Structure 1
Amino acid sequence: MHVTSDRVLRARRNGVGRLTLNRPEAINAVDIDMVRSMLAALDAWRDDADVHLVLLDGVGDRGLCAGGDVRLLREHIVAGRFDAVEEFFRGEYLLNATIDEYPRPFVAFMDGVTMGGGIGISAHGSVRVVTERSRLAMPETRIGFTPDVGGTWLLGRAPGRLGEFLALTGWTMGAADAILCGLADHAVPAAHLPDLAHALETRADPATPNELVLLFDETMEPGPIERARPWIDEAFAGETVAEILERLRAMPETDGEITPSAVHAELVQRAPLALAVTLRAVRRARELPDLRAALAQEYGLVSWFVRTQPDMAEGIRAQVVDKDRSPRWNPATLEGVVDDMIDEAFAHRAPVPLWTDEGEER
């Protein structure tokens, strides 16, 4: 695979293959060419004896990656170019699986905004570093969609019911909560990332990436999600979205940055259909055998949302294009979401499968 993009800087030095996302004006949001460029680099370095680890970071101080280029995806959806949308997701999901299965240590600097697709290219790595500036989230329900890029696999393994909470609300995590929820491993001050990158190249003793990162790791105070976890676990154990909302309404108000009333207020703004699909997706992901199986489930849901439902295009319009923050969801209420619709979503199959029988991307 020989694909390059000036939006992905590729370098190989002192045993480190470095991928740097270079689209700072869009907080390094990824498009299909960037995905292919990263895949090509990882393919080239896979059997390169001179590459001992891969390091992912991003240009600019706003964030590693704000996600996929949803404006372009909406243009494809509105124009009926569904094949182009699914082609992007197939490439993205292959990249997620490649990172998860990579035979070299994969170190990701999740500094600043790291959301959606940005989680997919970092949180499946083997050494995941956050900073005091990190802001992690899977905010897909905000645009009438459902967590993907292996997000259901990651959130399904978060402690207690934090996975349901994060998937449904799209709540933003700081460094401490990202580590608690299993999306990151180490917290390093942003000012020390250049020194850490240098240490990874010079192989300071101790030599393994995890041991090196520990030299820069700083223990952080518990985050607001951890402090709110007792009542979050209780509320998000509800069997349905309606029951979760009812539990939140019945809870006494609490102190702290996250309160039952604030969470309830966020949920009622989300697309009812996306909430119902997402709740089932996260819980089903807990029973799946591996990341590839979760990605296959997510891919079917992507195709279903794109080809049969209006909410995703409408959510992107309201949040990203027109920015009126007034999406018109269909159905507009949870009462309009029936079980048959959810069953249909999980039974849907895209025209082009994600994986072949041999497990490779088509």
Structure 2
Amino acid sequence: MSTVLARTQGAVGRLTVNRPEALNALDLRMIRAMRTALDEWESDPAVTAVVLDGAGDRAFCAGGDIGVVHSSAVGDPAVALTLWREEYRLDARLARYPKPVVALMDGITMGGGIGIGAHAAVRVVTERSVLAMPEVAIGLAPDVGGTLLLARAPGELGTHLALTAGRAGPADAVHCGLADHHVPAGRLAALVDDLAAGAAPEPTVAKYAEDPGPAPLVAARCWIDHAYGGATTVEDLLYHLEAIDEPRAREAVAAITAAAPTALKVTLRAVRAAREMSTIEECLRQDFRLCSRFLEHPDLAEGIRAAILEKDRAPRWRPGTLAEVGDEAVEAFFAPLAEELDLPGPDHLVHP
């Protein structure tokens, strides 16, 4: 069975990532199949919009194929670099697609799932949706243009989600700008039928949308903005968080201190840099630089081993403390590559 189902239904191109046994995680073959379908539909006048979803009821897309990344980190780096290069081109393609893309992010949507879904023209979550960029927990920084989205979230909420590997339910996803509408899962089929009949995507989705309820992060924003906004370093941030008498602040401290020190410092720098960016291409070029350097760093393979492969939840980070990660080491991640990520689009500048 194909791991990507590409077909037309009336006026829409239907693109389904179809690997439910792996939570629809993306591999290189899937990425290429999606780009092929998008290329074909762009010149097809019968297709007026694209609907992107995931097979099964557990996940839209849980990310990229982490097993491939681990094998590449301990073996041939070119394999993961090829995966990321083509994945980021797909992310940019979806963000710039000339026809509306409606992403139905029903279920788990993490990492690479954010890349293909959260840059779409119309982004839908359901009551089952859980969105996250959890990379710091495996010794990596958020990629797939995720830091651009997080940087644009209200106040310091995006920085909080990035450094804690935090999860956003449907209400938080809409509030933080990771999604546009909440549509109950039971109404998605009818929504797609209306789109297939030629209805305009944005007003049609809005017709099916419902209030997702209160966003937990709204209630937490006061202490989040205070702690993160007043911090210039991760060490400063932890100092501010530890002074807050709030259970969720203590949970944030625990999550941050469990993550890879190098990844934390690089991620904070990356989110702050993304605040000055205006295009997804800028962010994806930065992401490619960072992931290329993490591929050479021992924390990535170790983080995947501890969290996903052996699941002992006891990573041995190197270096093991924030104090050992100096500014020069962080800046080295952002230095230009010998071969930068080449992306089409309106922004052809490579920013140092």
TMscore range, shorter length: over 0.9
TM-score for the superposition, normalised by structure 1: 0.93
Shift of 1:84: 1.2
Over 3 Å counting, the alpha-carbon distance change for 1:284 and 1:220 in structure 2 is same
- The residue number in structure 1 matching 2:155 is 160
Aligned-residue RMSD, C-alpha = 1.4
Q: Which amino acid aligns with 2:245?
A: P
- The residue number in structure 2 matching 1:118 is 113
In structure 1, runs of 5+ residues without a counterpart are none
Contact 1:61-1:112 within 8 A present in 2 as well = yes
CA distance in 2, matches of 1:180, 1:310: 36
Contact 1:107-1:127 within 8 A present in 2 as well = yes
- 1:56-95 aligned within 5 A: 56-79=52-75, 81-95=76-90
Shift of 1:353: 2.2
Q: Which amino acid aligns with 1:28?
A: N
Shift of 1:289: 2.7
CA distance in 2, matches of 1:299, 1:241: 23
In structure 2, runs of 5+ residues without a counterpart are none
Shift of 1:174: 0.4
Contact 2:89-2:343 within 8 A present in 1 as well = no
CA distance in 2, matches of 1:235, 1:163: 13
Shift of 1:193: 0.7
Out of 117, 136, 143, the position equivalent to 2:138 is: 143
CA distance in 2, matches of 1:356, 1:41: 19
Contact 2:281-2:343 within 8 A present in 1 as well = no
Q: Which amino acid aligns with 2:117?
A: S
Contact 1:7-1:23 within 8 A present in 2 as well = yes
Q: Is 1:41 the counterpart of 2:37 in the alignment? A: yes
Secondary structure of residue in 2 paired with 1:118 = helix
Shift of 1:77: 1.4
Contact 1:304-1:348 within 8 A present in 2 as well = no
Q: Which amino acid aligns with 2:288?
A: Y
TM-score for the superposition, normalised by structure 2: 0.96
- The residue number in structure 2 matching 1:355 is 342
4+ residue segments displaced more than 3 Å: 356-360
Shift of 1:219: 0.9
- Note the alpha carbon deviations across 1:58-94, whole angstroms, 9 max, x for none: 1111110000010121012111x11111110010000
CA distance in 2, matches of 1:357, 1:39: 14
Q: Which amino acid aligns with 2:167?
A: T
Q: Is 1:180 the counterpart of 2:175 in the alignment? A: yes
- The residue number in structure 1 matching 2:10 is 14
Over 3 Å counting, the alpha-carbon distance change for 1:198 and 1:282 in structure 2 is same
- 1:119-268 aligned within 5 A: 119-203=114-198, 207-237=199-229, 238-253=231-246, 259-268=248-257
Q: Which amino acid aligns with 1:66?
A: A
Q: Is 1:97 the counterpart of 2:92 in the alignment? A: yes
Secondary structure of residue in 2 paired with 1:50 = coil
